[in-house]
Structure 1
Amino acid sequence: MRKITLLAAALAATAFTTPAMAGSPDGRFQVKVLGTAVLPDGGIDKVKSIDSGLATTLTGMGVTDVDARANDNVVPTLAVEYFFTKAVSVETICCFTQHHVGGAADLAGTRLVDHVLILPATVTAKYHLDTGTPIKPYVGAGPALFFVFDEKPGATAQALGVDKVKMSNSFGAVLQAGVDIALGQSGYGVTLDAKKYFIKPTASFYADGAKVLETKHDLDPWVLSAGLSYRF
């Protein structure tokens, strides 16, 4: 992933700062700088295990329906794309997004996990429709691997005795659709993109080294992007 990040940065720098790399709407490479809204679900798919003491505490609080919700975020994104033909390409993206997970249902208003930093490693194969105009819609699909860093127990979890939380890295899939719009023959353009991820990470909560709760989550974010592109 470090190599992919460095490659993306190098290609972006080359595309936007080197006059010798002549832009073209039919070039092999395309670099995109995007603003991206990450809209996750985060609901609990299932409670895989729960410590009897914690279960008793929650029941005593009147909690019978345990659920969760992850907050939305807006982040910058870099995308790098290579065209094998006019119709077929492959694309990867580079970004970090940070979230927290709060309670829902009977736990509404509580904080369960703070500062969840996610690197969504994504590669999609894309098919572009040639409309005979500068407007070219596309669809895509591919694998995704979410790397999770630096998660911490939220205030409510800490109040229940939790001193450590770990969310698993997760492998899943992504569907993609969007449109590229060329601005003349310079290689510059604008792009609109929508991705739907299908990712189910597991969250493990610990108290004094013992696992007291394990939950599986429907993270499944919508990722909506808009920005500028350069093709060369």
Structure 2
Amino acid sequence: MKNISLTLLTLAVATASQSALAFQKGDWIVRGGLATVSPDESTSNIVVGSDLGVDLAIDNDTQLGLNIAYFFTDKLNIEVLAATPFKHDVNFGVSDPLGTGDKLGEVTHLPPTITLNYYFNDPSSPFQPYIGAGVNYTFIFDEEFTSANDAAGLKGLSLDDSFGLSAQVGVDYMLNEQWFLNGSVRWVDIDTEASFSLNGAPGSVNSIEIDPMVYTISIGYRF
């Protein structure tokens, strides 16, 4: 009887320890790490009076990614994503029509995103995978041409802000009851358009679908 009681006590302690690893209603979590925005861009051609036959390409950038989430059930949380500003090089897509170099300019953006996540919440595993969907508002600012393009007559670069959907998959790996590692992949719908002038003539790129994948590795803490 004594051995049976000891076995049951051991199982109860083990089960309680495993359950504590899974997130629970009322938990707050914060994460911080590196986030890489990798655009999968598709743009219309540059137009200045007529179609120049050249589109745009946008480079990757990596910054500090931050998010905070609150579990309103054991399996569902609301997450707010933030980051330090991402700065991307904007290049001529195929060839340089002005002879000023392949780099056209730079743009900076902030992509705050609100996501509803569903956790599979397996209490027997330190791996806590989840999927999510949400909305994003991207603030685009500090748009500028390179000095060579500015000298060639390109002025007043401006890109519109963007509102769109987002989706993600991720996993938290629990190191203990408070600390965990996180990896996630997120898709964000970012659509914009650009306006500028070339030697006083109005120019535009009427469709810029950036639609990046966002890859994040971070460390998190549960309150």
* TM-score above 0.5: yes
1:100 and 2:89 aligned: yes
Aligned residue runs from structure 1 range 8-157, under 5 A: 25-26=23-24, 28-44=27-43, 46-47=44-45, 49-52=47-50, 55=51, 58=52, 64=53, 66-95=54-83, 96-107=85-96, 110-114=102-106, 116-132=107-123, 133-155=125-147, 157=149
Query: Deviations 1:77-127 (Å, cap 9, x if unpaired)?
Result: 11100100110001011112111210112349622222x110101000000
| Partner of residue 217, structure 1 | 208
Matched residue type, 2:27:
R
1:190 and 2:178 aligned: no
Give 3-state SS (helix, strand or coil) of 1:76's partner: strand
Structure 2 vs 1, CA of residues 47 and 69 (structure 1 numbering), >3 Å: closer, same or farther?
closer
**How far is the alpha carbon of 1:206 from its aligned partner?**
1.9
| Partner of residue 12, structure 2 | none
TM-score normalised according to structure 1 size:
0.77
Bigger shift: 128-137 or 164-173? 128-137
| Partner of residue 3, structure 1 | none
Structure 2 vs 1, CA of residues 48 and 74 (structure 1 numbering), >3 Å: closer, same or farther?
closer
| Partner of residue 169, structure 2 | 177
Larger radius of gyration: 2
**How far is the alpha carbon of 1:69 from its aligned partner?**
1.1
Is this contact kept in 2: 1:48–1:216, CA < 8 A?
no
**How far is the alpha carbon of 1:214 from its aligned partner?**
3.0
Query: Deviations 1:168-227 (Å, cap 9, x if unpaired)?
Result: 101111110000111122x11111111011111111112466522233212111100011
Give me the whole-angstrom Cα distance separating, in 2, the residues matched to 1:49 and 1:102.
15
Matched residue type, 1:51:
G
Give me the whole-angstrom Cα distance separating, in 1, the residues matched to 2:40 and 2:105.
14
**How far is the alpha carbon of 1:161 from its aligned partner?**
1.7
| Partner of residue 218, structure 2 | 227
**How far is the alpha carbon of 1:43 from its aligned partner?**
3.2
Is this contact kept in 2: 1:110–1:156, CA < 8 A?
no
Is this contact kept in 2: 1:30–1:81, CA < 8 A?
yes
Give me the whole-angstrom Cα distance separating, in 1, the residues matched to 2:22 and 2:30.
12
Structure 1 gaps, min length 5: 1-22, 59-63
Matched residue type, 1:137:
P
| Partner of residue 190, structure 2 | 199
Matched residue type, 1:176:
Q
> What is the RMSD computed on CA atoms of the aligned residues?
2.3
Give me the whole-angstrom Cα distance separating, in 2, the residues matched to 1:184 and 1:70.
40
| Partner of residue 18, structure 1 | none
Structure 2 gaps, min length 5: 1-20
Q: Percent same amino acid at aligned positions?
A: 29
Structure 2 vs 1, CA of residues 42 and 153 (structure 1 numbering), >3 Å: closer, same or farther?
farther
TM-score normalised according to structure 2 size:
0.80
